[in-house]
Amino acid sequence: MKRRTFLLSLGVLPAAWMLPFRAQAAGRVLVVYFSRSGEQYGVGVISKGNTAIAAEMIAGKTGADLCEITVENDTYPMRYKPLCDVAKAELNNKARPAYKRSVADISGYDVIFVGAPVWWGDWPMVMYSFFEKEHLEGKVLVPFCTHAGSGLSGFDKKLAAACPGSRVAPGLALTGADTQHHPGRIAEAVDGWLEKLASQGVVPGI
Ligand SMILES: Cc1cc2nc3c(=O)[nH]c(=O)nc-3n(C[C@H](O)[C@H](O)[C@H](O)COP(=O)(O)O)c2cc1C
């Protein structure tokens, strides 16, 4: 067994997708997100999605550009329970809905924050469409989610698996309802996370 493989098996070395980022000076930064308004869990009918609020905050604090992902033929229900049914069917079918993005060319970005709501313990299927279609090799991807109790739900590992050749930085899970009702809590969590990312050289200090 090779020395690196041996050390990896002992847990002495981090897996490749977890390698430290120090000395990898942050270049152009983008925040990509998918989010839904309408009726959402625990917050009633909202005019701006929870993840959209988090994404705007992250972009504001890092000076990053914002890129919204939307489904191309958007027939998603605006009511919570019917949306859950549609999303469950997409998950079961491993659907890859066509998408649009609000930034035309993302090739020049080096660090891409990627955020979405947790849907059935996973990324919404449209995000896999994005991961699989874009050329994200060589980029640093930084996952974040909003959720109603599930936490990060393996977003980091799933992102790394869907985007071979990228490097995935530590992610952040935010409680969806807090984005609407307790923005101070969200700001505190985002600040702590960005400081940690800055100490690893993923983003410049805030
Ligand atoms: C289809 C669907 C599935 C969901 N599944 C989960 C889940 O598995 N775990 C969880 O904690 N929250 C789940 N939620 C709650 C959302 O993750 C949460 O409300 C999120 O903040 C919504 O963000 P958005 O407004 O940006 O779309 C689900 C919501 C929907 C609509």
- Give residue 203's pLDDT: 85
In degrees, rounded to 5, the angle at the alpha carbon of residue 77 between the alpha carbons of residues 85 and 186 is 90
Say how many Å lie between the CA of residue 118 and the centre of ligand 1.
5
Q: Name the residue of 118, 125, 152 to mutate for ligand 1: max ligand atoms within 8 A of Cβ.
A: 118
Q: At how many degrees (to 10) do helices 155-162 and 125-133 cross? A: 40
HSE-up of residue 149 (Cα within 13 Å, Cβ side):
3
pLDDT band at 204 (very low <50, low <70, confident <90, very high): confident
Phi, psi of 178 (to 5 degrees): -65, -30
Say how many Å lie between the CA of residue 14 and the centre of ligand 1.
31
pLDDT band at 25 (very low <50, low <70, confident <90, very high): very low
Task: In whole angstroms, give the CA distance from residue 85 to residue 94.
Answer: 14
For ligand 1, whether the C-beta of 120 sits within 6 Å is: yes
What is the average pLDDT across 58-77?
Answer: 96
- Give residue 17's pLDDT: 55
- Give residue 34's pLDDT: 98
Judge whether residue 5 has pLDDT over 80: no
Intra-chain end-to-end CA distance of the chain, in Å: 43
Tell me the pairing of strands 38-40 and 44-46: antiparallel
Write the single-letter amino acid at 179.
T
* Residues 114-169 pLDDT 10s: 999 999 999 999 999 999 999 999 999 999 999 999 999 999 999 999 999 999 99
State the average pLDDT for the chain: 91
Which residue's alpha carbon is at the smallest distance from atom 7 of ligand 1?
120
Fold (CATH) for 25-199: Rossmann fold (3.40.50)
Task: In whole angstroms, give the CA distance from residue 115 to residue 197.
Answer: 16
* Residues 37-66 pLDDT 10s: 999 999 999 999 999 999 999 999 999 999
The two three-digit tokens of residue 125, written as one number: 């299927």
Judge whether residue 11 has pLDDT over 90: no
Q: What is the gyration radius of the CA atoms in the chain, in angstroms? A: 17
Judge whether residue 23 has pLDDT over 50: no
